[in-house]
Chain A
Amino acid sequence: MRDYILRRLILLIPIMFGVTFLTFLAYRVIPGNAAVLTCGLDCSPQVIKDLEHEYGLDRPWYEQYVGWLWDVAHGDLGRSFAYKIPVTTELGRRVPITVELLVLTLVLALGLGLSIGVLSAIRPATSIDWFSRLISVLFLSVPSFYLGILLITFGLLWFGWSPPQFGKGYVPFYQDPWTNIQEFFFPALVLALGEAAVLMRLTRSAMLEVLRNDYIRTAWSKGLRERSVVWRHALKNAIIPIVTVIGLQIGGLLGGAVIVESLYNLNGMGKYILEAIIRRDIFVVQSVTLLFAVSYVMANLLVDLTYAWLDPRIRYA
């Protein structure tokens, strides 16, 4: 097991080099000079030169690249061009927001997806089953940003309610749990519904497959309660493909965070990278892109490792 983790981590090294190089190179190719964009078009050439010098943009690219890697390895992610704030400072404020959003999303998606999926599978061809499948294919198709817009609009028009962050900004959970939940519930729900639909469909088909097995019949004939048969004997075996899909969906969730954060005015990482991309704030973009890639790859590694924990038959040599 330890060897497996080590090998996976070593395999990550070339990928991370590629990722850093690509993000680095991409934003050196853009013709629009970041320094010009920062201080405006009527900037004197001297000021632009100074700015470029200050940020090391006048050095050869390989020196810049190695320098950046060196800094990243030392935990220094550079400074924002526009606001002169170190990226790490900004991330310290923003990462908790994105993490809270994603954790809440996963909890909601798993809760809804698994429970409705199981319910649908143990009562196949009933109205519950039919209804939940219809709902799931609906939410599978409605894009999160559209769902979010509809929720914001009709929430305000019909109930006069809009999320508190539009007025107040982010409130941490430990300061005011109720406001915090109000802020995060709907963005997380919007992201979660689509994912829950995928999980529900998958859970249903995996459960139907498992429920046909002989050991389930044995469990029934032993006289076990339904709860025990369904949750302990069936779901435990049906969960492997579900975990795989969760791993694949993490990427979608990270991308979805970009969309939902900008829609719901949550100042998380997603909104940060979007704003930086629009402003051509190259240092922010390359560092945050790197962070996104690292978290995605790490999440997938974590998912692979949970297999072994879930299914004792899987052994990593």
Chain B
Amino acid sequence: MSSVLVVVEQREGRIARINSEAIAAGRQLAAQLDLSLTAAILGVQAASLAAELAFQSLNKVICVEHPLLAQYTPDGFCLALQQLIQNERPTQVVLPHTYQVRDYAPALAARHGQVLIGDVIAIGHGPMFTRQLMQGRLNGTYHHSGPGPCFVSIQAGAFRALAPGSAAAPIETFTPAIEPAQIRTRPSEPFRASTHTVDLASAQRIVSVGRGIKAAENLPMVQDLADALGAELAASRPICDSGWLPMERQVGSSGQTVAPKLYLAVGISGAIQHLVGMKGSQCIVAINKDPDAPIFEVADYGIAGDLCDVVPALTEALNAAGR
């Protein structure tokens, strides 16, 4: 029976939530296409994680083990998964849209003459796959028509993970053939660049600033607002790329993930890379000149206007209100 194969990613011996969401997307595809659902996990000593996966209402779990998979490399993962796909013949391959998947999945798909449909936020009948275009300002719907398997990666938070069930799926082991000479890249252990002196994660209130401030000279105005709120100042990536604020104040997929009581986004359009870092905030306020900016998708309160007018007015109103 042909199947949907979900490739689960482990990091430091743990399975992150996005993998359960990818399994949920796989389950949706399997139901729509009447296919069985298999999950695979790669690495060394992945057996305990495979045992954990077995409770996620799957038909089968495959533990793909090889000493050369102990550390992630694109060559090792492509070789292992190519052989697994040859063995299992899935018609759909579902992956979590992580930095690791972005590094190897396009090559894996190309090796099969296919193209990954990446960062998918919804699956409709057909199946049709929806992903975001133009920095989240537009949605696009895609279909797959190639002869080989359809490769799909799933955006974090887009699908609802199920709680584990009580029945365990059978676990198989698959040992790919990989030679050391086939691994061309030599990765180091991950490291953190600097010690974080700013702990945004524990801040109760955050004022975060984006590309919309236009010039570094406008930063003090936003700092005044942060002071009036008793908030930490943070930023989206472009501000840190420009060197206007240090990297340690960056919120988003490459920076810190925060969930304060109040998150006030100033001049941030709301690309997904930023949203994943702050959408768990209790109350989100957005100030942006474009009323259709994606940040308003997640905001509780919004003011569409020129931040150079709105920010000082807000600082003044807060100060007048005794804050």
User: Is B a genuine binding partner of A?
Assistant: no
Binding site for A on B (CB under 8 A): none
Binding site for B on A (CB under 8 A): none
